[in-house]
Structure 1
Amino acid sequence: MELLHRTLLATIGALSVFYALVKISLGYWKRRGILHEKPKFLWGNLKGVVQGKRHAQDALHEIYSNYKGRAPFVGFFACLKPFVVALDLELVHNILFTDAGHFTSRGLYSNSDGEPLSGNLLQLDGHKWRTLHAKSAEVFTPANIQKLLPRLVQISAGIQKDLSSAKLQQTQNITDLVAGYNVNVLASMAFGLGDRDLEEFSQWTHNYWGKFSLWCAYLALEFPLIARLLQYRSYAEAATNYFERIALMQLKEQRSRDRQPLQTFLQLYSNASQPLSDVQIAAQAFGFLVAGLTPLNATLGFCLYELARQPELQDRVRAEIKKTLEQHDSQLTAECLRDLKYAKQVLNETLRLHTPHPFLLRRATKDFELPKSVFVIARGNNVLIPTAAIHRDPDIYPEPERFDPDRFEEEAMNLRPKAAFLPFGDGLRGCIAKRFVEQVLLVGVVALLQHHRYTPCAETTMPIEYNNRRLLLTPKTDIKLKVERVD
């Protein structure tokens, strides 16, 4: 009886301490006197998000809509972790450009000693990131991206081959179609693999997260030192072993061949004046996969979905592709891509309406006092820039739910603030591979639309629904459309 009594008292004591710690954590913004949405116990301002009932984009959009204009930023809680949500575009511009030196960190978990492939540009911070970024800058130059274009065009021919082999007016799984193209691009250009090695590579691209736990990932972000001591892994060990092995193998093979044509980022990194170690290069190849595959798949899928719903826009893109190719002797060169202005507008509008990364993450590395105000973002504060909410702000984009590529005509773009369109982030910690990603998307659009028309069918989900269990914006179910060949 006495043992039971002691156990009960210990349990009550532990729960009381836990409750007190939670209340202290959720009182952070109140103690600082910062405007914020009242948090729910344990969930903070993410009630419904963790359970998959709504997307993180929806939670941020609600905060943005409710508080925009009342303060330059508000407090927000992701479970127990406090974040700054930037609402004012001038503040966003300061964070990304003017005062980017105060926000050079993302605050993501990385353990490059225990998990070498986590040592990529996306995940690293501090001195390691600055050193790696400086060395990577010479790899991602416009000239180098242009040199990789012939290989990219060669890969894109596989889309037309796959479509041509299908029956006329057959329903196609667009999600699988664009994934096949993008997996091929990353396998070939990031890892140096040939067509014969794609099947195993494709399988691992679906499994590298392993038994992902949101709570474990959250605790690793909150307590990175403890996570490193416990050797917490962000990815499945078997998957990272596979990706590291093939990258190292390809580096070894390419050095044994003389005068090979430039076709991969492995070659660019290996030939750089400030070369990385082979394991570091493998980590950058893996970074392409982590940061790029899902957004590339989603963007091309959503693009075809929107064009299928508005055939007049689709015909306009196809006509531009045909005319531009004729002007360039049917060669998809860098000059040809530059002339595909309306196709770029369509892709930009897709990225606006279906923003793959619904928010950007930054962490203040030193106190930042907002100009002409009493507000301060304290050193160590995590900052969320709600890109998807900004992209759907009716004051910036009238009728934001309408798909309208004319929003990205040059004149219309010049009338908007610079920070009003951020699909790739921007500034010091923006996507370093932005030019390459845009090139992959544009070449993909040409291959998909040049000889084929897409229309909704009985299996097309309309309106589109998002997968609430993914942080990135992806369709809940596969996008399926009817495809027919046009001459």
Structure 2
Amino acid sequence: MLLTKYWSIDLLLGFGGLVLLAYLYMNRRYKYWKKLGVMQPDPTPFIGNYGDCLRMKKSGGEWLQDLYNWGAGLPYIGFYVFDQPFLLVRDPDLVKTILVKDFNYFQDRFVQTSPEDRLGDANLFLIKNPAWKYLRSKITPIYTSGRLKKMFELMIEVADDLDTHMASLPWEGDSITIELKELCAKYTTDLIATTAFGLKVNSLNNPDAEFRRRGRDIFNFTFFRNIEVSSMFFAPHLAKPLKFKFFSPDNSNFLRTAVWDTLNERERSGIKRGDLIDLLLELRKTQTPGPEKELFDFDGDNVVAQAAVFFTAGYETSGTTLSFTLYELAVNKDVQIKARAEILNALKATNGVITYDMVSELAYLDMIVSETLRKYPPLPVLDRVAAQDYKVPNSKLVLKKGTPIYISVFGSHYDPQYFPSPLKYDPERFSAENKKARTSGVYLPFGDGPHACIGLRLGLLQVKLGLIELLQKFEFSPCAETLIPMRLNPKAFITASDGGIFLKVRKISAK
């Protein structure tokens, strides 16, 4: 039945009614936090507080940093992604409680991919409990000190390839302008390929290396890719119906082929390298039928998923950390000079040989890398989800089961309360004395607690080795194309520069 004599007016009224219903539905929960006595910024109809990230004006890390700053002085604030309530935790003690002390309440990450994407769904980063706990216990032995020392021997070969690559560049006299982001990604791709897969892919000296091409594609943050990854982190309920995947079908097929070819060849030859492939092969062989196998079967895509996430997380995070460090050393020449002096003195003591122990003993270099990770944490957001109702200590707030909990790593890393003059690059923040005096729970480049990054020691080793190899022979300076100040890519969920990192590189004598 028509409401008026004119169908066009009826149509307009019907459309307006639908809009009103949609408005009321999407706004029905926007007082959720206020009712619980939690401060919240005013949400925008339909999108909540998600606007800047949704419109790609800011990256997810920068967006949450803004929310962190909005809540200055508060232990936590509430916010909304579309119509879902989230809690952003600011208080360092509560951060430590959630990540460590009361980990049993927050065992899972909120992030989720499509169940059809088994390489994304089953890897150590995304898999849920109880399978996560079992998997973590089995994978952890890959990074013992003994295994790392054996890996280091393989890493030195890649460092030599880096030296060969630098020598082959079209130098103009003793200087050249280089895009360091891609160079560092090639270097860390080769490192991960040899330490995890046992493969010498040499992307440094082979521009067509498929490992590098695939890695570049995985972190190519197009408009759609940004929506896909951001949805996995902030709106995972969309992942299943929209079939959002951590790895594209082409990249998944490449990784399956690479892993199974390597596993089968390793099994056929009997060669032992002490790497991830050896560990996965051993777990696959020794796992017997029973509850553990039913919980997580080391076969098929479950095996490939672990190698896939080690490859992607390992090369990208280390590569970006190395390139950001070189950028900061170029801009802060006094820090670069001091770092080079420490490296050259250490090399003099070892007759020019880079050793595992030497890398571990370079105190100032460690301070430099720590400061880079403060300014540019690879993953600027930590996420958890409440596994059951949880009463927040020293408050009346009870978090309902399923509530997403977020921690802004950017927020605390740039909080002047914990890091005075946070925009300044100052490695002295990480002297032994200053580290001891710092509030616990505010420096989180690798997360904390049982979910802390499993590969942090290998990652640090890769970055430091690259710095030693480069700084002993080359000086880095800003050039016309250098971004000063640094600008981050608003489409990238991980911390990435907006464009390349261009620096002038000059050969220096050993003296």
Q: Provide TM-score, normalisation by structure 2.
A: 0.88
Q: Which amino acid aligns with 2:35?
A: R
Structure 1 residue 101: Cα displacement: 1.2
Residue in structure 2 matched with residue 19 of structure 1 by the alignment:
23
SS of corresponding position for 1:202: helix
Q: Equivalent residue for 2:461?
A: 439
Per-residue deviation, 1:219: 6.0
The answer to whether the Cα contact below 8 Å between 1:46 and 1:56 also exists between their aligned partners in 2 is no
Range with bigger deviation, 408-417 or 277-286: 277-286
Does residue 408 of the first structure (1) align with residue 430 of the second (2)? yes
Q: Give the match for residue 126 of structure 1.
A: 129
Maintained 8 Å contact 2:190/2:202: no
CA drift of 1:131 comes to 1.8
The residue aligned with 1:60 is: 64
Instruction: Determine the structure 1 residue equivalent to 2:263.
Output: 251
CA deviation digits over 1:23-59, x for unaligned, max 9? 0143322333321111112332233222222333333
Deviation at 1:123, TM superposition (A): 0.9
- 2:253 corresponds to which letter in structure 1? N
Deviates more, 1:306-315 or 1:324-333: 324-333
Offset at 1:223?
7.6
C-alpha distance in structure 2 between counterparts of 1:429 and 1:217, whole Å: 20
1:216/1:358 CA distance change after superposition, 3 Å: closer
Q: CA 1:233–1:54 in structure 2 vs 1: closer, same or farther (change >3 Å)?
A: closer
Q: How far does the alpha carbon of each residue in 1:287-318 deviate from its partner, in whole angstroms, 9 at most, with x for none?
A: 12343333222211111111111222111111
Give the equivalent residue in structure 2 for 1:208. 218
Which residue, out of 162, 168, 179, partners 1:165? Answer: 168
Unaligned runs of 5+ in 2: 288-297
Secondary structure in structure 2 of the residue aligned to 1:158:
helix
Query: 1 CA distance for matches of 2:405 and 2:120?
Result: 25
Q: CA RMSD in A?
A: 2.5
Q: Check if 1:82 corresponds to 2:85.
A: yes
Gaps of 5+ in 1: none
For residues 414-453 of structure 1, the aligned pairs below 5 Å read: 414-453=436-475
**Structure 1 residue 232 displacement after superposition:** 4.7
Deviations 1:335-354 (A, max 9, x none): 11121111110000011112
> Please, which of 303, 320, 327 is the counterpart of residue 281 of structure 1?
303
Cα separation, partners in 2 of 1:306 and 1:209, compared to 1, 3 Å: closer
Q: What SS does the corresponding residue of 1:37 show, helix, strand or coil?
A: coil
Residue matched to 1:28: 32
CA distance in 2, matches of 1:316, 1:86: 37
Q: Is the Cα contact below 8 Å between 1:155 and 1:184 reproduced in 2?
A: yes
After TM superposition, the score normalised by the length of structure 1 is 0.92
Q: Does 1:368 align with 2:368?
A: no
Partners of 1:107 and 1:361 within 8 A in 2: yes
Look up the match of 2:337: 315
1:45 corresponds in structure 2 to 49
The Cα of 1:450 is off from its aligned counterpart by 1.7
Counterpart among 236, 239, 248 of residue 248 in structure 2:
236
Q: Aligned letter for 1:115?
A: R
Per-residue displacement from partner, 1:157-193 (whole Å, max 9, x unpaired)?
A: 2222222222121111111211110121222223332
Q: 2:381 aligns with which of 350, 359, 363?
A: 359
Letter in 1 for 2:107: T
Checking the alignment, whether the CA contact within 8 Å between 1:117 and 1:280 is kept in structure 2 is: no
Identity %: 27
Residue 180 (structure 1) aligns with? 186
Q: For residue 171 of structure 1, give the secondary structure of its aligned residue in structure 2.
A: strand
Partner of 2:96: 93
Return closer, same or farther for 1:57/1:331 CA change in 2, 3 Å cut-off. same
3-state SS of 1:76 partner: strand
For residues 391 and 128 of structure 2, the distance between their equivalents in structure 1, rounded to whole angstroms, comes to 22
**Pair 299,173 (structure 1): closer, same or farther in 2 beyond 3 Å:** same
CA contact (8 A) 1:357 1:388 kept: no
Separation in 2, partners of 1:107, 1:67? 22
Hey, what's the Cα distance between the residues in 1 that align with 2:250 and 2:49? 35
SS at match of 1:44: coil
Are 2:164 and 1:153 equivalent residues in the alignment? no
Letter in 1 for 2:323: G
Give the counterpart letter for 1:271 in structure 2.
Answer: E
Deviation readout 1:418-448 (Å, 9 max, x if unpaired):
2121101011111111111111111111112
Q: Is the 8 A contact 1:25 1:80 kept in 2?
A: yes
Give, in whole Å, the separation in 1 of the partners of 2:88 and 2:96: 14
- Contact kept, 8 Å, 1:83 with 1:382, in 2: the verdict is yes
| Matched ranges for 1:460-479 at <5 A | 460-479=482-501
**Counterparts in 2 of 1:114 and 1:302: CA distance versus 1, 3 Å:** closer
> How far did 1:86 drift?
0.6
Matched, 1:328 2:350: yes
Letter of the structure 2 residue corresponding to residue 19 of structure 1: Y
| Distance in 2, Cα, partners of 1:224 & 1:388 | 22
How far 1:4 moved relative to its partner? 6.0
CA spacing shift, 1:224–1:76, aligned 2, 3 Å: closer
Q: Are the structure 2 counterparts of residues 424 and 315 from structure 1 closer, same or farther at C-alpha, using a change threshold of 3 Å?
A: same
Is 1:111–1:119's contact at 8 Å kept on the other side of the alignment?
no
Change in Cα spacing, 1:230 to 1:302, as seen in structure 2 (3 Å) is closer
Partner Cα separation in structure 2 for residue 196 and residue 54 of structure 1? 35
270-279 or 415-424, which deviates more: 270-279
Counterpart-to-counterpart distance in 2, 1:226 and 1:50:
14
